[in-house]
Amino acid sequence: MKRLPFNACDYRCEHCLATADCAVFQKLQEPSLQDFIGSNNGNDSAAVLREIRESFRETEARIKQKARELGIDLDGISGGSSAEEIRETCMRTMNDPLYKRSYDFTMQTHEFLQAAERVVDGDAKDYFDDIAWHHTVVVAKVCRTVGWNSHEEGAVDAKNSGAVAVKSLTICIMAFDYLASRHPEISEECERLSAAAKQIKEEIRERIGPRRAA
């Protein structure tokens, strides 16, 4: 398998072309937890929680083992930032104009979805669902794009996160444009949000480089 996707992932496995090479996806396909939950019919919540907890512990153990094999000091990494540094990074991120625009876009899109849900039907519902999924990815990935430090590992993560945000924005733009053409009653708001998405997309590309965020 190729490298784990981590922040190059938009979490929508059913629409992804890289699942055959994704270790995370392959792990999720293991039937144990899913079958266990199904067999309990949701009646034994404590047992389900124990199974989930065990799954997390197994994942943690595998990560630590792989880190040891690669000579990575996880303790050193986790302790590399003080509480004050974390607060400063958080404030810097929230005050970043790109993050603010992305946050506003996500919140405005959320309001749009609530209002448009009763209007959209038929084939257009798939485009509505695309927006519902990807508008939340945008602000999360932009947060990582602007919040990482400039060291090599952080820069790679920032570029990966920015590329995912651009992908999600592109899908939102196409969906907004489709809905605008099919539903005149919401076309004005679709066009406004599509334009906002295009602006954010271009700003991300300027921030991390067009070739990496295409």
pLDDT, position 28:
65
- Token duo for residue 142: 């932009």
| Residue 41: strand, helix, or coil | coil
What confidence category does residue 37 fall into, taking pLDDT thresholds of 50, 70 and 90?
very low
With 50 as the cut, is the pLDDT of residue 114 above it? Answer: yes
Q: Which of 30-44, 105-119, 141-155 has the highest mean pLDDT?
A: 105-119
pLDDT (tens digit per residue) in 74-103: 555 555 556 677 678 788 888 999 999 999
pLDDT (tens digit per residue) in 145-176: 888 655 555 678 888 889 999 999 999 999 99
pLDDT, position 197:
98
- Rounded mean pLDDT of the chain? 78
With 50 as the cut, is the pLDDT of residue 211 above it? Answer: no
Where is pLDDT greater, at 158 or 37? Answer: 158
pLDDT, position 35:
57
With 50 as the cut, is the pLDDT of residue 212 above it? Answer: no
Stated pTM of the model: 0.69
Q: How far apart are CA 212 and CA 165, in angstroms?
A: 12
**Window from 45-49, 56-60, 96-100 with minimum mean pLDDT:** 45-49
* Main-chain dihedrals φ then ψ at residue 144, nearest 5 degrees: -70, -35
DSSP 213: -
Q: Which residue has the tokens 């065990």?
A: 54
Q: What is the 3-state secondary structure (H, E, C) of 148-208?
A: CCCCHHHHHHHHHHHHHHHHHHHHHHHHHHHHHHHCHHHHHHHHHHHHHHHHHHHHHHHHH
Evaluate the CA torsion angle 180, 181, 186, 191 in order and state its sign. Answer: positive
Task: Give me the amino acid identity at 68.
Answer: R
With 50 as the cut, is the pLDDT of residue 200 above it? Answer: yes
pLDDT, position 40:
52
With 70 as the cut, is the pLDDT of residue 120 above it? Answer: yes
Q: How far apart are CA 24 and CA 21, in angstroms?
A: 9
Where is pLDDT greater, at 47 or 109? Answer: 109
pLDDT (tens digit per residue) in 62-77: 666 666 666 655 555 5
